């Protein structure tokens, strides 16, 4: 039987080749299309600079005209005109930005639909903006794994008044960082409430932010297996023979789903912890990964880059050891000649 096929939808300013994409590619058959959301964000930023330049130029022109005709025109005219320019330019950019964000989402959803038709995945994994695209796709027979979903945040910026919902999907796993400052954890709590209790699973990762750096290859593999297990147990069981879960006992012991009505103040970090004994992680570093930059720890790509084999030192190794060579050594002459090149053996 073939391996689990995963459709990975990246974040808004990333693309194929990020760390989460590579982690999934270590265990599953993954396809990550280029959603072109980064191009839209760059265009919006350039447009913001153009609007800001036009606003400054219009205000300067207004004040220069008043300077030459200051004897006939009161100073309230350039002040009032500047306020009018600021309101008009800001309102125009705000409406245009909402329109462009909606176009960005519609194009990304269309690209994701084409990739879904071509790839026919068993599960869709979406991170941040990718989770927004996954929730807007019309694929009610496919389970979802949403990593730090930004549905409500993007809807607010794009002016989409429809509340995000996951009720039409067979099973959805939502993973959110406890210290997420970009998308508040309440957004994922509200998103999970749109589905029934037996069709969702909410995971809160303690001491983690929007990037979810603590989720690596083994954790993603467990999440994918657990989500597919709810929809297609035979496929999950067959694929687990090649990619067994890392620690199923520890996972079931130290994890419990969130239930509606539970106050966040009563949730302890160990309640939603994925690991049985969390350890401190090394300080983060930044790496360039193609067109995206993502932050992770030093050993983040241990499975991705094989260790280089150690090279034998050259020169006289007799000086490398603080202990003298035994006079009556039982080693063969060939081994001594190989192990100690250039060494002089006394008879």
The pLDDT tens digits for 130-189 are 999 999 998 888 999 999 999 999 999 999 998 888 999 999 999 999 999 999 999 999
Q: How many whole angstroms separate alpha carbon 236 and alpha carbon 234?
A: 5
Higher pLDDT pick, 300 / 69: 69
How many helices (DSSP H) and strands (DSSP E) are in the chain? 10, 8
| 256 DSSP 8-state letter | -
* pLDDT at residue 279 tops 60: no
Residue 281: per-residue pLDDT: 36
Q: Map residue 250 onto helix, strand or coil.
A: helix
Whether residue 166 contacts residue 172, with contact meaning beta carbons closer than 8 Å, is answered with yes
User: Which of 269, 284, 300, 124 is CA-nearest to residue 204?
Assistant: 269
Higher pLDDT pick, 263 / 147: 147
Q: How many whole angstroms separate alpha carbon 214 and alpha carbon 283?
A: 12
Q: How many whole angstroms separate alpha carbon 74 and alpha carbon 76?
A: 5
Q: How many whole angstroms separate alpha carbon 37 and alpha carbon 103?
A: 10
Mean pLDDT of the chain: 76
269 — pLDDT class (breaks 50, 70, 90): very low
Q: How many whole angstroms separate alpha carbon 13 and alpha carbon 34?
A: 11
User: Which of 191, 115, 113 is CA-nearest to residue 150?
Assistant: 191
Residue 25: per-residue pLDDT: 92
Mean pLDDT for 109-122 is 94
Backbone angles phi, psi at 147, to 5 degrees: -105, 115
Place of tokens 């194009």: 107
Q: How many whole angstroms separate alpha carbon 149 and alpha carbon 262?
A: 20
Residue 75: per-residue pLDDT: 85
User: Which of 301, 280, 281 is CA-nearest to residue 289?
Assistant: 301
Mean pLDDT for 117-121 is 92
* pLDDT at residue 282 tops 70: no
Q: How many whole angstroms separate alpha carbon 40 and alpha carbon 47?
A: 10
Residue 1: per-residue pLDDT: 52
Higher pLDDT pick, 113 / 262: 113
Q: How many whole angstroms separate alpha carbon 112 and alpha carbon 8?
A: 9
| 122 DSSP 8-state letter | S
Please report, rounded to a whole number, the percentage of residues in the chain having pLDDT higher than 70: 68
Q: Map residue 203 onto helix, strand or coil.
A: strand
Q: How many whole angstroms separate alpha carbon 186 and alpha carbon 171?
A: 20
Side-chain half-sphere CA neighbours of 337 within 13 A:
3
Q: Where are the beta strands (DSSP E) in 257-315?
A: 285-289, 292-296
């Amino acid at each position: 039987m073939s391996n689990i096929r995963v459709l990975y939808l990246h974040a808004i300013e990333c693309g194929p080749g990020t760390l989460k994409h590579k982690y999934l590619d270590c265990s599953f058959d993954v396809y990550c299309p280029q959603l072109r959301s980064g191009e839209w964000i760059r265009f919006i930023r350039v447009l913001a600079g153009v609007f800001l330049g036009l606003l400054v130029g219009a205000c300067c022109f207004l004040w220069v005209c008043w300077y030459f005709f200051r004897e006939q025109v009161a100073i309230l005219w350039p002040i009032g005109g500047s306020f009018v320019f600021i309101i008009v330019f800001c309102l125009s950019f705000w409406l245009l930005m909402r329109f462009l964000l909606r176009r960005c989402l519609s194009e990304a959803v269309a690209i994701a639909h084409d990739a879904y038709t071509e790839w026919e995945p068993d599960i869709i994994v979406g991170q941040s903006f990718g989770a927004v695209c996954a929730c807007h796709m019309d694929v009610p027979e496919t389970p979802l794994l949403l990593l730090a979903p930004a549905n409500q945040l993007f809807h607010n910026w794009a002016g989409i008044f429809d509340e995000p919902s996951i009720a039409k999907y067979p099973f959805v796993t939502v993973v959110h960082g406890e210290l997420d400052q970009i998308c508040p954890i309440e957004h994922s709590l509200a998103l999970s409430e749109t589905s029934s209790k037996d069709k969702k699973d909410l995971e809160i990762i303690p001491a983690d932010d929007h990037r979810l750096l603590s989720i690596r290859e083994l954790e993603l593999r467990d999440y994918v297996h657990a989500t597919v297990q709810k929809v297609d147990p035979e496929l999950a069981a067959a694929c687990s023979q090649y990619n067994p879960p890392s620690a199923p006992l520890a996972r079931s012991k130290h994890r419990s789903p969130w239930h509606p009505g539970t106050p966040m103040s009563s949730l302890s970090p160990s309640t939603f912890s994925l690991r049985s004994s969390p350890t401190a992680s090394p300080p983060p570093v930044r790496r360039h990964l193609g067109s995206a930059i993502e932050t992770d720890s030093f050993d983040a790509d241990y499975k991705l880059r094989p260790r280089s084999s150690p090279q034998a030192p050259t020169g006289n190794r007799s000086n490398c050891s603080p202990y003298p060579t035994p006079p009556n050594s039982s080693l063969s002459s060939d081994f001594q000649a190989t192990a100690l090149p250039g060494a002089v053996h006394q008879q």
